[in-house]
Amino acid sequence: MDLDALDTLAARMRSAAAIVVLTGAGISAESGVPTFRGQDGLWRRYSAAELATPEAFSRDPDLVWQWYRWRRSLIGRAIPNPGHLSLARLQERAARFDLVTQNVDGLHQRAGSAAVIELHGNIWRSRCARGCGFVLDETTPAAGSELPGEGGAAPACPCGALLRPDVVWFGEPLDEGRIDLAVRAARNCDVFLAIGTSALVYPAAGLPLIAAGAGALVAEINVDDTPLTPHAGLVLRGKAAEMIPAIEARL
Q: Candidates 1, 214, 223, 249: give the one binding ligand OAD (CB under 6 A).
A: 223
Give the Cα separation of 197 and 80 in Å (integer): 17
CB nearer to ligand OAD: pick between 43 and 134: 43
Q: Is 28 in the site for ligand OAD (CB under 6 A)?
A: no
Give the Cα separation of 114 and 91 in Å (integer): 8
Q: Which residues contact 107 (CB under 8 A, 6 or more apart)?
A: 27, 28, 31, 33, 75, 78, 79, 80, 81, 84
Q: Closest separation between CB of residue 1 and ligand OAD, Å?
A: 13
CB nearer to ligand OAD: pick between 38 and 206: 38
CB nearer to ligand OAD: pick between 61 and 96: 61
Residue 120 annotated in active site: yes
Q: Is 9 in the site for ligand OAD (CB under 6 A)?
A: no
Give the Cα separation of 251 and 246 in Å (integer): 9
CB nearer to ligand OAD: pick between 50 and 96: 50
Q: Is 31 in the site for ligand OAD (CB under 6 A)?
A: no
Which listed range, 13-21, 158-166, 179-187, 223-231, lies at the site for ligand OAD (CB under 6 A)?
Answer: 223-231
CB nearer to ligand OAD: pick between 24 and 80: 24
Interface size with ligand OAD, residues (CB under 6 A):
25
Q: Candidates 5, 20, 29, 128: give the one binding ligand OAD (CB under 6 A).
A: 29
Residue 171 C-alpha from the chain's centroid: 18
- Binders of ligand OAD among residues 44 to 73 (CB under 6 A) are 52
Which listed range, 126-134, 149-157, 180-188, 219-227, lies at the site for ligand OAD (CB under 6 A)?
Answer: 219-227
Preceding peptide of 34 cis, ω within 30°: no
Burial profile 45-57: b = 16 or more Cβ within 10 angstroms, e = fewer:
ebeeeebbbeebb
Q: Closest separation between CB of residue 20 and ligand OAD, Å?
A: 16
Q: Is residue 171 exposed (0-12), middle (13-18) or buried (19+ Cβ within 10 Å)?
A: exposed
Asked if 215 and 18 count as a contact pair (C-beta separation under 8 A), the reply is no
Q: Is the dihedral of CA 110, 113, 116, 120 positive or negative?
A: negative
User: Nearest to residue 35, comparing CAs of 7, 74, 5?
Assistant: 74
Residue type, 112: G
Which listed range, 37-45, 129-137, 142-150, 183-191, lies at the site for ligand OAD (CB under 6 A)?
Answer: 37-45
Interacting residues toward ligand OAD by CB under 6 A: 24-26, 29-30, 35-38, 41, 52, 102, 120, 168, 196-198, 200-201, 222-224, 226, 239-240
